[in-house]
């Protein structure tokens, strides 16, 4: 039902549709055409116009890096069921993910994970 609220139906005029030579292909069973249009179409057009620019590619790479950190957090660190709800849920989830990643990096720096070499005297 959420997608329906974000869509507006525009109806063509019968005065415009009747004389059109494409009417049989466009709307053969109706007197005029109905065109669904998202209320966010303007924002989509802006995003489409920015595609291919240097700033867009940089932003895309940054988003991909962040998403990969979340995938790593959920899959590798076994936090797959993490779902924080509420108005600050995404912000809390991001903070928790960043904290977990930073603790993991700190543990790698402090605790060596290689094989231990013992000295026999």
| Res 115 pLDDT > 80 | no
| Res 6 pLDDT > 60 | yes
CA 76 – CA 64 distance, rounded (Å): 17
Highest mean pLDDT of the ranges 15-24, 43-52, 108-117: 43-52
Where do the domains of the chain lie? 2-42, 52-82+91-103
Q: Any idea which of 28-32, 86-90, 92-96, 107-111 has the lowest mean pLDDT?
A: 86-90
CA 11 – CA 31 distance, rounded (Å): 10
φ/ψ bin of 20: left (φ > 0), alpha (ψ from -120 to 50), beta (otherwise)? beta
CA 1 – CA 6 distance, rounded (Å): 9
- Segment 39-71, tens digit of pLDDT: 888 988 998 999 989 999 999 898 888 778 777
Task: Name which of 62, 59, 67, 57 is nearest 94 in CA terms.
Answer: 67
Contacts of 109 (CB under 8 A, 6+ apart): none
| pTM of the predicted model over 0.85 | no
| Res 83 pLDDT > 70 | no
């Amino acid at each position: 039902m959420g997608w329906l609220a974000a869509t507006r139906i525009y109806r063509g005029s019968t005065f415009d549709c009747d004389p059109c030579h494409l009417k049989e292909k466009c709307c053969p069973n109706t007197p005029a055409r109905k065109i669904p249009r998202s209320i966010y179409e303007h924002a989509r057009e802006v995003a489409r116009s920015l595609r291919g620019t240097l700033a867009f590619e940089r932003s895309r790479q940054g988003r991909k890096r962040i998403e990969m950190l979340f995938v790593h957090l959920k899959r590798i660190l076994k936090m797959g069921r993490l779902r924080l709800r509420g108005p600050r849920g995404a912000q809390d989830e991001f903070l928790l993910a960043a904290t977990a990643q930073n603790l993991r990096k700190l543990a790698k720096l402090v605790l060596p994970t290689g094989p231990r070499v013992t000295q026999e005297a």
